[in-house]
């Protein structure tokens, strides 16, 4: 999952500009980090659904869907899901670190 964030003067000012490099930009009214995260999760979910649909079509022996394309779609979905898990784990760790800071 390739998220690109443009640099800005404040650390979180560029978070609203995060976008997927290879996927088309979805119009959302949410700005900032939550909007970028929601868009990334929707993209991962769409990739998983597409891979499952292609897998089903291959099992039904649809001549319009090739096995190679299906395997590539499955691998893309798996990589996206693994990246999402890594992001989630990093966010939970950051939250835990912040909560354990002494004030």
What confidence tier does 31 reach under pLDDT thresholds 50, 70, 90? confident
Which pair of tokens denotes residue 31?
């700005």
Question: Is pLDDT at 22 greater than 60 in this prediction?
Answer: no
How far apart CA 74 and CA 68 sit, in angstroms, is 10
pLDDT of res. 27: 56
Q: Decide if pLDDT at 97 tops 70.
A: yes
The token pair at 30 is: 């949410």
pLDDT tens profile 36-81: 889 999 999 999 999 999 999 999 998 999 999 999 999 999 999 9
Helix (H) or strand (E) holding 34, with range, is helix 33-59
Which residue, among 22, 40, 21, 77, has the nearest Cα to 30 in the 3D structure?
A: 40
Q: How confident is the model at residue 103, as a pLDDT?
A: 80
Rounded Cα distance between 43 and 26, Å, is 10
> What percentage of residues in the chain have a pLDDT greater than 70?
71
Chain position carrying tokens 């990093």: 90
């Amino acid at each position: 999952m390739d998220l690109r964030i443009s640099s800005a003067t404040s650390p979180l000012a560029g978070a609203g500009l995060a976008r997927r490099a290879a996927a088309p930009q979805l119009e959302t009214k949410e700005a900032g980090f939550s909007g970028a995260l929601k868009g990334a999760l929707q993209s991962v979910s769409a990739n998983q659904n597409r891979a499952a649909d292609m897998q089903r079509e291959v099992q039904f022996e649809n001549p319009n869907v090739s096995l190679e394309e299906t395997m590539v779609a499955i691998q893309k979905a798996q990589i996206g899901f693994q990246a999402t898990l890594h992001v989630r784990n990093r966010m939970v760790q950051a939250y835990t670190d912040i909560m354990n800071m002494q004030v």
